[in-house]
Amino acid sequence: MKKLLFVFCLILLSVITYSFNITNRPIETNWQFITDKDNTGIKEGFLNNDYDTSNWLSMPCNIFWEDIIGPYDGYAWYKRVETFTKEDLKNKYIYIKFGAVDEDATVYVNGKLACEHTVEKTKIPSDYLWSIPFVVDIKPYLKVGENQIKVKVFDRLNAGGIYEKSSVILTDRNLEEDFNLNKDIIDLNPDFEDYITVGLKSKGEVSPFSLLWFSDLHGDKLELQRLTSFYMYYKEYLDEAICTGDNIASSSISDFSFWGEVKDAEKILFTTGNHDTLKSHKNGYDWKKQISQKEVYDLYFAPYIKNWNVNYKEGQTYYYKDYPKKSVRLICLDCMQIGDKQIAECEWLKGVLKDAYEKTLSVVVATHMPFIYNKTKTVDCSFNNSDRKLRTIKGYPCYDNMRIYQEAVDEFMKEGGLFVCYIAGHFHSDNIFYNEEYPNQLQIIINTSKIAPFESNDLVRVYGHKSMDLANVLIVDTTTSTLKLIRVGADTNKYFKKRDYLAYNYKTKKVIR
C-alpha cells in the first residue's frame, strides 16, 4: 500500500509538472539519523547548525528506520544538507516534498521551524497521517550555499520514519493547494450532481430508486462523518443510505459509540457483519464464537431502528423497507445467523418475498457477506477487482447453510417475482458476479470504505484527495430493468482503470456502459 501511495504521488506531481514550470530534484542520498528516546534533542542543541552530527547513522532516504536499527517507537531526528545558488533563490517557492512520514514530522531549516505535519497541528488522526504526502515551503529560511534540513519524527507504534521518496521542488507556483487536506467530500466529487441527475432520468412512469451504499467502516468515525454529510447534502437525489456491515473495528467488545457521535448518522441504515458479531478478538479471531441475536440487537439496533421507518420486530436484526413510489423493496438480512435463528430468518424472508410479489415490488437484498460457494461468473465491467479472487470463505458457521437464502430468492423468481440484486461487502473489493448455481441472482460487492484500507485493496487511497472516500450510489430503474452504479470517491484502480459509473440491464445481463 505504501508503494501505491508513492505511485499516486508521482502521478500527481507529473500532472502538476506538466501544467506549469517546475524543477524537481529527487533526494537520492542518505540522511543522517539518530534516535531521541527521551525527546531531549532540542535541549541538547540539535537545531544548531554547528552541532556535531558526525556520530549519527546513515539512513537511506526512503525506508522505515526499523529496517536499519530494528524495532523502535518514539522520537528520532533526520538531517541533511541542501545547497542552493543565487539563481535557485529567484524562484518564488522552494519546497521539500515528502512522499510520506510515519507519523509526526516537524521540519526545521537552518534551525527555524518551517512546518509541523503532526496530529496536533493538522488534527488528522495518526491512522491516516502516516500515509499522507505533503510539501513544506522552505524558501523563507534559505540562504545561498549550504542549508541544514532537520526533521524531528515521532512514531507511536509499528514502522516509523521518512519511508517514501522526497524531493526539492523549485517553482513560481504555490503548490500548497494541491496538497490541501481540508477539502470536504462534496468538493472532492464535483461531478456527482451531473452524474446523479442523468442517472435518475427515466422514460418510465415510475421514478428510479437511489441508494447511497458503503460497507466495512471498521470503526472509521471520520469516514462515517464524511459519507453522512454527503448523504444529507444530496438528500433530494437519494432515497436512502446504508452501510452493509462490519461497522466496528474488531469485535463486539469494540466501541460503537462513534456512530451516535456523528451528526445525522442515526439516519443511516446498516446490516450486521462478522466483526459486529464476533465475541472477542483478544486471543485471535475465532469466527465460531459469536454473541447472540439479542446482544446484537441491543448493542446496535435498539438505539436506531425505531427511527428508520422500517418493518421489523423488536429483537430481530433483519428488516425491510418499501419505497412504493419507486416500486422497490429493500430487504436487509443478518447473514451472521446460525442454526434455528438462520432458519427462522429465512422463513421470514420467504414471507417478505411473497408479499413483495403480491405488491409487484422489485427486490434489492442488502447483506454483509456475499453468497459464494464454488464457481462464480463475473460481469465484464470496470467494477471488478482483478487482485481479489472470489472464493468460499471458511470458518464462519453461518456459511454452513447459506444457500437457503438464495433458494428462497430462486423460488420467488420462478413464481414471477422481480429480483434486482444483492449488495454486500466483506471482501474489501469491488465485484459484480453470479454464482453458477443461481445464475439469475446478481451480486454486487463493494470495497471497504475505511480510509486507511487493507493491503488487499486494489485502489490507491490517499487522504485529502478524491480517493480518500469510497461509496457507491445504486440506482434501480424498474421500468427499464436498468441498474446503475456511481462511484463516490476512489474511482481509479492502481492500473488506471476507471471505476466511475456503470449501467447494467439486470434482465438481459448486458453491460450498457
Q: Are residues 421 and 487 in the same domain?
A: yes
Q: What's the pLDDT score for residue 387?
A: 73
Cell of 144: 545561498
Q: What's the pLDDT score for residue 181?
A: 67
144: Cα within 13 Å, side-chain hemisphere: 4
Residue that terminates a domain, selected from 146, 179, 212: 179
DSSP code per residue over 158-210:
SS-EE-S-EEEEEESS--GGGG-----HHHH-TTHHHHHHHHT--SSSSPPEE
Nearest C-alpha neighbor of 220 from the set 125, 290, 129: 125
Q: Are residues 282 and 389 in the same domain?
A: yes
Residue that terminates a domain, selected from 163, 179, 195: 179
Q: What's the pLDDT score for residue 6?
A: 43
What is the chain's length? 513
Rg (CA), the chain: 26
Q: Which CATH number covers residue 169?
A: 2.60.120.260
Separation of alpha carbons 454 and 436, rounded Å: 29
**360: which DSSP letter?**
T
Q: What's the pLDDT score for residue 257?
A: 93
Q: How many domains in the chain?
A: 2
Chain-centroid distance of CA 42 in Å reads: 38
Q: Are residues 203 and 146 in the same domain?
A: no
pTM of the model: 0.79
Q: Which CATH number covers residue 459?
A: 3.60.21.10
Residue that terminates a domain, selected from 179, 207, 235: 179
Q: Are residues 167 and 52 in the same domain?
A: yes
Q: Are residues 216 and 134 in the same domain?
A: no
**Domain interval for residue 322:** 185-511
Q: Are residues 165 and 192 in the same domain?
A: no
Q: What's the pLDDT score for residue 132?
A: 85
Q: Are residues 223 and 321 in the same domain?
A: yes
HEC string for 283-295? CECCCCCECCHHH
Q: What's the pLDDT score for residue 102?
A: 94
| Residue ranges for the chain with pLDDT beneath 50 | 1-19
